[in-house]
Chain A
Amino acid sequence: MSVLDWVLLTLVILFALALLFATRRYLDTPVNLPSPPIEPDSSAELLTLVDALPVGVLVTDRHATVLRCNAVAADLLGLSPAAVVGRSLIHSLRDYELAELLRRVMAGQEAGCEFNLSYNRRYLLANVSVLGRDLHHFGLVVLQDVTQLRRIEQVRRDFVANVSHEFRTPLATAKLLVETAQAAVEDDPVAAKGFLNKVNRELDSLTRLVSELLDLSRIEAGQTPLQLRPISLKQALELEVSRAEEQAARHGLQLTLAPMPDLTVMADESRLSQVIGNLVQNAIKFTAAGGSITVSAGQCDELPSATVSVADTGIGIPSEDLERVFERFYKVDRARSAMLADGSEQGGTGLGLAIARHIVAAQGGRIWAESNAHGATFHFTVPLAVFVSNPPVAALYTQG
């Protein structure tokens, strides 16, 4: 919702409530007082309108006691309207600065304004204003859930910060190495060559990062068509596990492929290998020596499709980060993920899971992570070939 929409919505609410108060002097007007001739059901209609608004509306009296709370406001507060109405604003919102702001606005010491607050792990934008004048004035608090917006802003900020960081580190190293090589080129050509080799490695790392960024960008834009065809899931998993066996052994890990039925799935072979390889590589990175990694697959009823699981006995993922690990550059607990299980620096670009999510979605499946005290498990689904005829490649590819 844009700022203009927000302002218009607030004006509509103000108008509706002003009309309501003008016609009925709100809820506490004695019924025997003469009232102006109005349509018999207009007050009820206006109240219904307030209740049906897509934003939270709280109306308070001048003592900040809530007189009306619509369903959205109650939902945002995690309470029933009955638990809010008749109680003070602080009782429901537990934010003394908002209560104080409402008091100042109602006392005319401050014009209506916006206020950000966090509530029950949600971010709310509260628009505080006053209705009516003199003795018949009411406080109006309009609440909007901006959690998603905040999260997007955070993702954007993280993305810029991460891209800068990921580029800066190899660039700074390469610059330092070139300077050292320049100084050594005449006196010690052998050492200079060694430095240039290191520069080459840093440039490879940068190339890989740029390549993955472009890959992700192309996948997101749907510019790389998938070559979906029936393939043996068992063979694909065996291939990837055999590729990673040596690396796992070097890290002191036991990599196992669990017994599975031979399932034929409809997938792009190279992209499927990319997803499996990425999950196995991640498991190796975040599992300490002596741990184990198990790759398994089975049929599930979803779609119907096959589910592939990669379970490790590593450091696990906090529950609040489970959804976010598929975001670009998102790293759980940077302080811990910056180091590998063997104590060396992490070598990933932070894009692997984001790419995996897009590939899986484009193939018509889904990917998710689970974690407990014993480690993390990544699952993804891929449709079974027998159930997919003429797959809508273009349509599938734009998913996610």
Chain B
Amino acid sequence: MPARPTFERELRDLQDELLVMSSMVDKAISRSIEALKNRDLGLARLVVSDDQKVNDKRFEIEEKCILITATQAPLASDLRTIVAVLNVITDLERMADHCVGIAKIAIMTGNEPPLKPLIDIPRMAEQSRSMLRRAMDAFVARDVAAANAVANEDDIVDQLYDQVYRELLTFMLNDPRTIDRATHLLWVAHNLERIGDRVTNICERVNFLVTGRMEEYKAAKQV
């Protein structure tokens, strides 16, 4: 029997709510890219409208965090869990905003002829989704090693972004009429690159949650 069963249950529920929110973001990434790839305007509009649900969930979780802090006086790792959750929901909410950015581009470009079949952009999306899922697994399991491994994979997203950037630049240089469409795709790739960075932030929070240390992965890498 746990020492504080109500508190334990509340923390567990909080984590479940966080998983719900990450699942919302995961679907937003997948759907926004599907909408762009298949020129599915209905799906793109769904991503835009569903963003409100993500925002609502963020505030719901934030309120729960405040309530638990006020009523249960969490300490040590419990307090770090709540602080980490507060940070992670901010990252998740911003990731959903990036998906809205992609969906809006899908709506804007839906009636234009496609510049090129999408290859690396869906790969970036798949990589980001995989990283998000494993970052959340690491959060649940309090697994620093797994979180570090996920954070290292951000380089793959960055490399794909560079590849997309170079390829689109070639299109623009060869034919200036493609500049508009190429720029839109560049924004999509940039949104995905930022999603990858946000996943890295989540990994940093896992590190903090377990060790109590606040370390920035990118800064550590540069050293």
A-B contact count (CB 8 A): 34
Q: Which chain B residue shows the least CB distance to A90?
A: B19
- The 0/1 profile, CB within 8 Å of A marked 1, for residues 4-22 of chain B is 0000000010011001111
Contact status A91-B19, CB under 8 Å: yes
Question: Given A333-B119, A335-B119, A97 and B16 touching (CB < 8 A)?
Answer: no
B116: A residues at CB distance < 8 A: 335
Question: Given A333-B119, A335-B116, A335-B117, A91 and B22 touching (CB < 8 A)?
Answer: no
Q: Is B23 in contact with chain A by the CB < 8 A criterion?
A: yes
Question: Given A91-B140, A94-B23, A94-B26, A336 and B16 touching (CB < 8 A)?
Answer: no
* Interface members, chain A 306-340 (any B CB < 8 Å): 333-336
Q: Which chain A residue shows the least CB distance to B141?
A: A83
Task: Please indicate which of the listed interface residues A91, A94, A333, A336 has the most CB atoms of chain B within 10 Å of its own CB.
Answer: A94
20 pairs from A and B in contact (CB 8 Å cutoff): A88-B12, A88-B16, A88-B19, A90-B16, A90-B19, A90-B20, A90-B23, A91-B19, A94-B19, A94-B23, A94-B136, A95-B23, A96-B20, A96-B23, A96-B27, A97-B23, A99-B23, A335-B117, A335-B119, A336-B119
Q: Total interface residues on B, using CB and 8 Å? A: 17
A95: B residues at CB distance < 8 A: 23
CA of A96 to CA of B22, assembled, Å:
9
CA of A333 to CA of B16, assembled, Å:
38
Interface size class of A (residues with CB under 8 A): 10 to 19
CA of A73 to CA of B26, assembled, Å:
22
Q: Is B64 in contact with chain A by the CB < 8 A criterion?
A: no
B23: A residues at CB distance < 8 A: 90, 94-97, 99
Closest beta carbon of chain A to B26's beta carbon, Å: 7
* Interface members, chain A 330-365 (any B CB < 8 Å): 333-336
B residues in contact (CB < 8 Å) with A? 12, 15-16, 19-24, 26-27, 116-117, 119, 133, 136, 140
Closest beta carbon of chain A to B204's beta carbon, Å: 21
A335: B residues at CB distance < 8 A: 116-117, 119
CA of A189 to CA of B76, assembled, Å:
92
Q: Which chain B residue shows the least CB distance to A318?
A: B123
Q: Which chain A residue shows the least CB distance to B123?
A: A318
B24: A residues at CB distance < 8 A: 96
A99: B residues at CB distance < 8 A: 20, 23
CA of A217 to CA of B133, assembled, Å:
43
Taking A90-B16, A94-B136, A97-B27 as known contacts, 7 extra A-B pairs with beta carbons closer than 8 A to each other, sorted by chain A number, are A88-B12, A90-B23, A94-B19, A94-B26, A94-B133, A95-B23, A97-B23
